Structure 1
Amino acid sequence: MEDIISKISSFIKQSNKLVILGIGNYLKSDDGFGIYVIESLVKNYEKSFKDVNLEKEVNIITDRLTLINSGVVPENFTDVLKRENPDKIIMIDAALMKQKPGTLRIVESEEISETGFSTHALPLTIIIKYIKSYINTEILIIGIEPTDLTFGEPLSGIIKEEADKFSEIFIKELDSFLLNS
């Protein structure tokens, strides 16, 4: 995880405006990873920012950081992305990468078409092309190899454990980013 955090850290340090997009479906077990992480971030910032609320899909933490819980329809938030006009976007999702379950990694742009992001209405490649046609932005995709995608099951133990560890470390990176405004 250290390598991923290092890449995230350098990615966000160079940012003026960052949007983090959690993608997934709680109804399909580990596919809820991305939204679980976003909810963890929102819960952390609810304490410090009065307009931040777990019930909202879009939470503008500061003028430099926005958190979006897009569920299974990230394409529904392209207008928000255009309005926010971030120079950096991080997408977090469960990804079928043929790795050991619980493996967290950055999915490189050339790997996107070979990686399974199963619950999206539109393929992630199309969403990214659309976003980049309207916004001059860099996109970083963080995926975790799921253990279980069974309908009606909660996050599996290993994925929840990794999500909690990742969220805790990610919050420290975001706090540093916000302090250096």
Structure 2
Amino acid sequence: MHKVILTVGNSMMGDDGAGPLLAELLTKAPASGWTVIDGGSAPENVAHQVQELAPQLVVVVDAADINLEPGAVRLIDDACIADMFIMTTHNLPLSFLIERLRETVPEVLFLGIQPDVVVFGFPMTDPVRLAVEAIHADLCSGQAPQAYARL
């Protein structure tokens, strides 16, 4: 089964760089069976690349204000995505991107990481960096993203 991690975020905005950091880690040390695409702050611009790969599963990873402690990671149900404030700097809401991907991808999941500081020029905080490193380790060890707690 072909699987894609689509990361979202801006590494110049503190914890909003969680997605790009995961893409960097997966590029340096790939997880078996996964292709990573860094969507940056405009993930809608790479949606066609994801769809061309014809994956069975896409996991979108981004910083998200889920009202938990910084670094908390949750799978976010579809009903919540459109209603919540997603902490990114991209132009279109993630709900539109996910709907577009679902036109051709059987399963699309959204994995959110609770940020602490999302301010231009600030470094990523330790709890978020540790969460991203843990996600990378989980993917490399074969853990399915579906194993994360749901919000």
User: TM-score, normalization: structure 2?
Assistant: 0.86
| Structure 1 match to 2:128 | 159
Superposed, 1:13-24 pairs within 5 Å as: 16-24=1-9
| Structure 1 match to 2:23 | 38
Deviation at 1:65, TM superposition (A): 3.1
Question: Distance between the aligned counterparts of 1:39 and 1:144, measured in 2?
Answer: 16
Deviation at 1:123, TM superposition (A): 0.5
**Structure 1 runs of 4+ off > 3 angstroms?**
none
| Structure 2 match to 1:119 | 89
Deviation at 1:122, TM superposition (A): 0.4
Are the aligned partners of 2:12 and 2:121 in contact in 1 as well (CA < 8 Å)? yes
Measured against aligned partners, the alpha-carbon deviations of 1:55-81 in whole angstroms (never above 9, x if no partner) come to xxxxxx88x532101101110112112
| Structure 2 match to 1:86 | 55
| Structure 1 match to 2:99 | 129
Q: Which amino acid aligns with 2:25?
A: S
Gaps of 5+ in 1: 1-15, 46-60, 175-181
Q: Please, which moves more after superposition, 18-27 or 165-174? A: 165-174
Gaps of 5+ in 2: 144-151
Question: How much is the aligned-residue C-alpha RMSD, in angstroms?
Answer: 1.7
Deviation at 1:108, TM superposition (A): 0.9
Identity of aligned residues (%): 28
| Structure 2 match to 1:102 | 71
Question: Distance between the aligned counterparts of 2:90 and 2:15, measured in 1?
Answer: 14
Name the SS of the counterpart of 1:27 in structure 2.
coil
2:115 is aligned, of 146, 151, 158, to 146
Measured against aligned partners, the alpha-carbon deviations of 1:19-70 in whole angstroms (never above 9, x if no partner) come to 111111011000000111121111113xxxxxxxxxxxxxxx88x5321011
Name the SS of the counterpart of 1:71 in structure 2.
coil
Are the aligned partners of 2:101 and 2:108 in contact in 1 as well (CA < 8 Å)? no
Q: Which amino acid aligns with 1:41?
A: L
Are the aligned partners of 2:62 and 2:112 in contact in 1 as well (CA < 8 Å)? yes
Name the SS of the counterpart of 2:117 in structure 1.
coil
User: TM-score, normalization: structure 1?
Assistant: 0.73
Greater helix content:
1
Provide the aligned length of Structure 1 versus Structure 2. Answer: 142
Are the aligned partners of 2:58 and 2:105 in contact in 1 as well (CA < 8 Å)? no
Measured against aligned partners, the alpha-carbon deviations of 1:115-137 in whole angstroms (never above 9, x if no partner) come to 2223121001111112222x042
